[in-house]
Amino acid sequence: MKWLRACRSKSLALPNAVLTSFWVAAVAIFVATGSNGRAENPHADVLAIGGTVTEIIYALGQEHRLVARDTTSTYPPEAQALPDIGYMRALSPEGVLSVEPELIISEEGAGPPEAIDVLKEAKIAFVTVPDEYTADGIVEKIRRVGDALAVPEKADALAADVRKSLEAAKSSARAAAVEPKRVMFILSTQSGRIMSAGEDTSAEAIIRMSGGVNAVTGFQGFKPLIDEAVTAAAPDVILMMDRGGSHGAQNDELFAMPALRTTPAADSEAVVRIDGLLLLGFGPRTAQAVSELSAALYGG
């Protein structure tokens, strides 16, 4: 597949006719090798699994082809009117089949594996979209979804747009960050344990893009932190996902935790809350997330 992608990016410069014929060839190769379940029918009924995939499908203007979505697909709000087939890591094969999709576009990590096996057995085209927390990664996601939906031109246009605005957002964020702030992402504070984001996480990536520094280092992924590690991380700002409700009360509760009380963030009551899908989705709206976070960190 890698060679194909390389060819495709070269082909961008070629005239439209060549591009189109190239795509016809590419599609033919895919179908012939059967290495990927690409939709042959541009009007295929589509099931979107993963919030960002759904967002991209809407951004490509292909929402009329959606028949259902998963629980994490909450944006745009209209998407929530679609039937919900459950959480992406605990799919029920028959539930998926019941919405009669002809094409499933899924973020990485859909499961359980047995369910995916059954769906493949049912000969439903299944496209997996990789999740990477970079501008290139977003572009790749959009292209994959566009390919799967057979609207590559629209995807290229959207990808170019998204890349442009993201680069712009990133550079203005960089400019604003004269003194980079130490940001700690807190996923949850369940039973007094602070679950934070370490290295190689979506949270770290968005913090960096917005001109901040991840205050938490030394491990990968999302892990619970011991209290002293929280204090030692000395975050200037706490970043959380917005779950609605009263932020004031939530802040009081947050800074009542001994681990957080001594941090610089507690002194200035610096808590930023951004919708989880917007913040960590790495899709078309990431530029917006970067601008919002940067504004929250360094002022508009």
Partner 1 sequence: MVAGADHIDYQAPVDRMQHARRLHVWLLLLLVAVSLASLTYGATGVTLWGTLAKLWAGEELTRTEAVVLFDIRLPRLFLGICVGAALAVSGAVMQGLFRNPLADPGIVGISAGAGFGAIVAIVLGALLPVWISDLVGNQLIPLAAFFGGWGTTLILYRVSTRRGRTSVATMLLAGIALAALAAAFSGVLIYMADDQQLRDLTFWALGSLAGSSWTKFVAAAPIIVTALIASFFLGRGLNGLALGEATAAHIGISVQRMKNLAILCVAAATGAAVAVSGGIGFIGIVVPHLLRLASGPDHRTLLINSALLGASLLLAADVIGRAIISPAELPIGIVTAIIGAPVFLWILLRRRGIVDM
Q: Which positions touch partner 1 (CB under 8 A)?
A: 68, 71, 83-87, 89-100, 109, 111-115, 117-118, 121-123, 187, 195, 221-224
Least distance (Å) from partner 1 to the CB of residue 48? 14
Nearer Cβ to partner 1 (110/169): 110
Nearest alpha carbon to residue 40 among 53, 28, 48, 22: 28
Helix (H, G, I), strand (E, B) or coil at 25: helix
How open is the CA angle 197-158-127, to the nearest 5 degrees? 65
To which residue do tokens 């700002």 refer? 237
CA neighbours closer than 13 Å in the CB half-sphere of residue 204? 16
Least distance (Å) from partner 1 to the CB of residue 220? 8
Least distance (Å) from partner 1 to the CB of residue 184? 16
Least distance (Å) from partner 1 to the CB of residue 63? 19
Nearest alpha carbon to residue 91 among 118, 127, 115: 115
Least distance (Å) from partner 1 to the CB of residue 53? 17
Cβ-based burial of 215 (10 A; exposed 0-12, middle 13-18, buried ≥19): buried
Q: Which helix (H) or strand (E) holds 235?
A: none
Least distance (Å) from partner 1 to the CB of residue 49? 12
Alpha-carbon span 271 to 269, nearest angstrom:
6
Nearest alpha carbon to residue 50 among 129, 112, 116: 129
To which residue do tokens 């999709």 refer? 101
Nearer Cβ to partner 1 (11/188): 188
Least distance (Å) from partner 1 to the CB of residue 21? 32
Q: What are phi and psi of 10, to 5 degrees?
A: -70, -40
Nearest alpha carbon to residue 298 among 162, 164, 169, 188: 169
